[in-house]
Amino acid sequence: MQFGVLRENKTEPPFSSPLDQLSIAGTYSCAGCSLPLYSSTTKYDSGTGWPSFYAPLDNAIATSIDHSLFMVRTEVHCRRCGGHLGHVFDDGPPPTGKRYCMNGVALAFTAA
């Protein structure tokens, strides 16, 4: 599953990741190359079943347009290794209004 998400742009089933409900302080890094991607301070419960953040760390991610599934979505991938992480949507909370919807298997959590 981890390989499928990172390298083949697959999506894990919702509510399958233990990271979804995790709320302790720490850093979420790329499971492919260990680059720090998100801080727990920007994590929130979006109710979608995937770990969600309203902002990434500086220089952590890159985005591209994904036309699969007959939708136009903005794909989020790791800036360093290019691993697919998830998508970003415009229905997130303040202050950014963004929802970074991540696959838990693409992330590795390190407690602060």
Closer to Zn ion by Cβ: residue 79 or 98: 79
**What's the min distance (Å) between Cβ of 84 and Zn ion?**
10
Distance between CA 99 and CA 91 in Å, rounded?
Answer: 6
Closer to Zn ion by Cβ: residue 55 or 81: 81
Closer to Zn ion by Cβ: residue 101 or 108: 108
Reply yes or no on whether 33 is catalytic. Answer: no
Give the residues lining the site for Zn ion (CB under 5 A).
30, 32-33, 35, 78, 80-81, 83
Strand 84-89 with 73-78, pairing: antiparallel
Distances 5 to 13, 76, 112 between C-alpha atoms, Å = 11, 12, 26
Cis check for the bond before 93: say yes or no (omega within 30 of 0): no
Give the residue numbers annotated as catalytic, written as ranges. 101
